[in-house]
Amino acid sequence: MKIQFLGAAREVTGSKHLITTDSGHTILLDCGMYQGKGMETDAANRDLGFDPAQLDCVVLSHAHIDHSGLIPYIVKMGFKGDIYCTPATRDLCALMLTDTAFIQEQDVRTYNKKIDKQNPHKEKGKKYKIEPLYTQQDVNKAMKHFVTYSYDRRFRLFDDVLLTFTNSGHMLGGAICSLEIYEKDERMSGVEADPKRWKRLTYTGDIGRKYCHILPPPQLFPQCDYLICESTYGDRLHDEAEVTEEQLLGVVEDTCVYRKGQLLIPSFSVGRTQEIVYVLNQLYNDGRLPHIPVYVDSPMSTNATQIFRMYPDDLSDEVRDTMQFDPDPFGFNTLRYITDIRESKALNHKDEPCIIISASGMLEAGRIKHHVANHISDPRCTILIVGYCEPTTLGARIQQPGLQWISIFGLDRKIKAQITKIEGFSGHGDYKEMIDYLTRSLSVDKVKRVFVVHGDENAAEAYKGHLHEAEFKNIEVPEKGETVEL
Binding site for Zn ion (CB under 5 A): 64, 206
CB of 243 to Zn ion, least distance (A): 18
CB of 208 to Zn ion, least distance (A): 9
CB of 63 to Zn ion, least distance (A): 8
The residue type at 414:
K
CB of 170 to Zn ion, least distance (A): 6
Question: Nearer to Zn ion by C-beta: 96 or 384?
Answer: 96
Residue nearest Zn ion (C-beta atom) = 64
CB of 171 to Zn ion, least distance (A): 6
Cα–Cα–Cα angle for 234, 14, 108, nearest 5°?
A: 135
Across 396-433, b (16+ Cβ under 10 Å) vs e yields: bebeeeeeeebebeeeebebebbbbebebbbbbbbbeb
**Helices and strands per DSSP (H, E), number in the chain:** 14, 22
CB of 428 to Zn ion, least distance (A): 7
Question: Nearer to Zn ion by C-beta: 70 or 338?
Answer: 70
Across 71-107, b (16+ Cβ under 10 Å) vs e yields: bbbbbbbebebebbbbbbbbbbbbbbbbbbbeebeee
CB of 329 to Zn ion, least distance (A): 23
Question: Nearer to Zn ion by C-beta: 10 or 62?
Answer: 62
CB of 28 to Zn ion, least distance (A): 17
Question: Nearer to Zn ion by C-beta: 63 or 243?
Answer: 63
Long-range contacts (CB closer than 8 Å, 24 or more residues apart) made by 443-447: 443/223, 444/470, 444/471, 444/472, 445/471, 446/223, 446/225, 447/224, 447/225, 447/226, 447/227, 447/472, 447/473
For residue 360, is the peptide bond before it cis, meaning its omega torsion is within 30 degrees of 0?
A: yes
CB of 454 to Zn ion, least distance (A): 9
Question: Nearer to Zn ion by C-beta: 16 or 64?
Answer: 64
Question: Nearer to Zn ion by C-beta: 270 or 277?
Answer: 270
Q: Give the count of beta carbons closer than 10 Å to the beta carbon of residue 6.
A: 24
Cα–Cα dist 375/381, whole Å: 7
Cα–Cα dist 169/204, whole Å: 11
User: How many angstroms separate the Cα of 324 from the Cα of each of 315, 318, 319?
Assistant: 14, 10, 9
Cα–Cα dist 214/220, whole Å: 18
Q: Give the count of beta carbons closer than 10 Å to the beta carbon of residue 36.
A: 15
Question: Nearer to Zn ion by C-beta: 8 or 376?
Answer: 8
Question: Nearer to Zn ion by C-beta: 206 or 433?
Answer: 206
Across 216-241, b (16+ Cβ under 10 Å) vs e yields: bbbbebeebbbbbbbbbbbbbebeee
Question: Nearer to Zn ion by C-beta: 21 or 61?
Answer: 61
CB of 94 to Zn ion, least distance (A): 17
Q: Could you give the 3-state DSSP secondary structure of residue 46?
A: helix
* Terminal CA-CA length for the chain: 5
Question: Nearer to Zn ion by C-beta: 81 or 208?
Answer: 208
DSSP 259: S
CB of 190 to Zn ion, least distance (A): 44
Query: Is the Cβ–Cβ distance between 248 and 279 less than 8 Å?
Result: yes
Question: Nearer to Zn ion by C-beta: 1 or 29?
Answer: 29
